[in-house]
Copies of this chain bind each other. A is one copy, B any other.
Amino acid sequence: MWHTDLMSEKVTATNLRARVRAEMTDEIKTVARRHLATDGANLSLRAVARDLGMASSAVYRYFASRDELLTALIIDAYNAVGDEAERAVAEQETPLGMWLAAGHAAREWALANPHEWALIYGSPVPGYAAPRDTVEPATRFMLLLGATLAKANVTGGIADRPPLTGRFAEELAAIAGAYFPELTARIIADTIAAFFQICGAISFELFGQLNNTIEDDRRGFFDYQLRSAARLAGLTE
């Protein structure tokens, strides 16, 4: 993201160079996203450069490596699904409505951008270590689910359950104390479980790994999955 620094560093009258740089990086990412849809994570940097009518070496002025390009796409993807989910949630009133809206928004985004979903929620690219910049966007969707439960919890919309036991419960309690005062360790654990289930439901449908058991009413099936995830997380009503 250092081109952002470059832009804000010195805002001269024209600042042509910084502007075309920003446009160029965006254009590269757009074309790369298009290639992502056909070639998946092993897209060719040279092919992207060809599509842009430039030499492959020129791309390296904008992204130091192919991995860095992928990182930019990953961050954008995390933010895209986060945006979609937040937008959908904002239209809802009840916690359950927010929960369902977030889930369906994520699924629909995944169906529209399967390879980008695979990029962020599939197996990591070999030899690729996610940089620091990705962790914040990566947590947005899950935090949205947590926020929904937090809202439900203050209005008594979450079932009372016995607290957790075990060493991991203390770790979760520490997290709850530091970041989510409205939530208990138990609710956090169940939220994570629900998050796993939702992501699994989307991924398995997307990657066709459930052998096309459900063919006609996939949305209905996912809706049921969402509701059982809500039940798992303790969302009543």
Binding site for B on A (CB under 8 A): 39-42, 115, 118-119, 121-127, 130, 135, 138-139, 164, 166-168, 171-172, 175, 189-190, 192-197, 199-201, 203-204, 207-211, 213-218, 220-221, 223-225, 228-229, 231-232
Q: Contacts of A139 on B, CB cut-off 8 Å? A: 211
Q: Contacts of A171 on B, CB cut-off 8 Å? A: 213-217
The CA-CA distance from A127 to B208 in the complex, in Å, is: 14
5 new A-B contacts at CB < 8 Å, known A40-B125, A42-B42, A124-B207: A118-B124, A119-B123, A138-B209, A195-B200, A232-B232
Copies of this chain, whole number? 2
The CA-CA distance from A19 to B164 in the complex, in Å, is: 56
Q: How far is the CB of A40 from chain B (nearest CB, A)?
A: 2
A135→B175 contact, CB < 8 A:
no
Given contacts A193-B201, A196-B201, contact A42 B166 (CB under 8 A): no
Say whether chain A's binding surface is mostly helix, strand, loop, or mixed.
helix
B196→A204 contact, CB < 8 A:
yes
